[in-house]
Structure 1
Amino acid sequence: MLMIAIRLKRMGKKKKPFYRIVVSEDDYRPTGRFVEEIGYYNPMTDPADVKIDVEKARKWLKEGAKVSHTVQTLFKKHNVY
């Protein structure tokens, strides 16, 4: 059975991280292929810049996607659950 995960994919330069929130197969590397991009997270701005497509996130959660700890925290702050 195919396991789906929602996690962060690191982008940006050294010491200037920028993350994309992606849906990928669980066995792929976090920096590898992904199924869909559902948002982004920039912790370097004050306050942190976060954009999440709530409808897409809820769709993937209903399909049983696992969520990483950091993405789970972001989802709680932005009322995805």
Structure 2
Amino acid sequence: MAVSMRLTRVGGKKDPQWRVVVADRRSPRDGRFIEVLGRYNPQTEPSTIVLKEDRIRHWLERGAQPSEPVQKLLKTQGI
């Protein structure tokens, strides 16, 4: 099973907020996921980024591939 770390949209219309999740690569963007690893709100100033560093490292060690937006968030947080 190919596993990826990616963003899932939550929040209301014209109020996007995102969760960082681990999901099977084949599942849809807002579909089934394995675990929630954090959240990202780009509408606050500055943007709110809350991540579970220990769980992210756990999944990276097991071969989960982060998407490009998640890679940028991880780099911003220094993970």
TM interval, shorter chain, is over 0.9
Q: State how 1:42-81 maps to structure 2 within 5 Å.
A: 42-80=41-79
CA drift of 1:40 comes to 0.1
Unaligned runs of 5+ in 1: none
Higher strand share: 1
Query: How many percent of aligned residue pairs carry the same amino acid?
Result: 38
How many residues align structurally? 79
Q: Aligned equivalents of 1:19 and 1:59: distance in 2?
A: 21
Counterparts of 1:58 and 1:79, CA distance in 2:
12
Cα deviation 1:26-58 (Å, max 9, x = unaligned): 100010010000100000100000000000001
d(CA) in 1 for partners of 2:14, 2:44: 13
Match runs of 1:1-81 below 5 Å: 2-80=1-79
Q: CA deviation at 1:18?
A: 0.4
Distance 1:28 1:65 in 2: 14
Rounded to whole Å, the distance in 1 between the matches of 2:59 and 2:78 is: 15
**TM-score, reference length from structure 2:** 0.97
Given the two structures, how large is their TM-score scaled by the length of structure 1?
0.95
